[in-house]
Structure 1
Amino acid sequence: MQTIGNVLWLVLAGFWLAIGYLLAGLLAFVLIVTIPFGIASFRLAGFVIWPFGRTTTWRRDAGIWSVIGNIVWIILLGWELALLHVVAGALLMITIIGIPFGVACWKMIPLSLVPLGREIVPISSATNDPYGIPA
């Protein structure tokens, strides 16, 4: 079922969202200072193109630089990518089959706004605790 969901997601929204992240990453690579943003954008493109079966968790070793980087990210690239998710989610909500994909698209908005300090992991190895402490 997970593979079917990923294939449908890829066709309906994943490919176009991934192109947006790839363009944002290329734009970030233009300036040397923003290369970490480009790396984060490419990482998110891989997640956005095939999201089901994976999730994001907060990295415990992410420090103050992640917070500062996320603020700069929101100003430079994050709000555009979040807007892309809002529009794609709204378009997916038009059909009955697209409603779960629209909800999934809207769940990615916080990730598009605050990507630094997170890592993409399989759902089986994720914990529910935001600090990464297993139950």
Structure 2
Amino acid sequence: MPVVPLFLNILWIVFGGLGMAVGWLIAAVVMAITIIGLPWARAAFNIAAYTLLPFGQRAVDREAVTGRGDIGTGVLGLIGNVIWLVLAGWWLAIGHLIAALALAITIVGIPFAWAHLKLAGIALWPIGKVIVPA
């Protein structure tokens, strides 16, 4: 990892990124416990890792990376995202929005606020996303 993203990721963890990553992990564990929620748990674990170290990576549609559709990028992915939104997505997005507002107050916190806003969007619709190097 280059020096600047490494430095930003360390600051990110110190200034609240760790807390949101834990929130994603809790959502993933709750989904995994239900057995039925395993597809959502997998997506939540992937996004938790991204939430822990967001700089130097980005989330993109899996179909754009692979060049073909699959179960998570089609109609079942849409249904899965709607279910996720109702069960866990909204409260994770609210957490990211609150953190973004708190960080945006300072000039130094603006890059971190922007990262939280990107993560809030992913929190609402995570199925069918894949994390790739930036």
Note whether the superposition's TM-score is higher than 0.5.
yes
- The SS at the match of 1:51 is coil
Equivalent of residue 38 in structure 1, options 36, 41, 45: 41
Equivalences for 1:1-135 in 2 at 5 Å?
Answer: 1-60=4-63, 61=69, 62-123=73-134
- The SS at the match of 2:126 is coil
Supply the distance in 2 between the matched residues of 1:104 and 1:59 (Cα, whole angstroms).
20
Supply the distance in 2 between the matched residues of 1:16 and 1:37 (Cα, whole angstroms).
20
Q: Which runs of 5+ in 1 are unaligned?
A: 124-135
Segments of 4+ moved more than 3 angstroms: none
**Residues 103-129 of structure 1, C-alpha deviations (whole Å, 9 max, x = no match):** 221122111100001110111xxxxxx
Supply the distance in 2 between the matched residues of 1:44 and 1:8 (Cα, whole angstroms).
19
**TM-score, normalisation: structure 1:** 0.87
CA RMSD of aligned residues (A): 1.0
> Percent identity at matched positions?
37
**TM-score, normalisation: structure 2:** 0.87
Supply the distance in 1 between the matched residues of 2:62 and 2:115 (Cα, whole angstroms).
22
- Count of aligned pairs between the two proteins: 123
Residue 2 of structure 1: how far off its partner (Å): 1.3
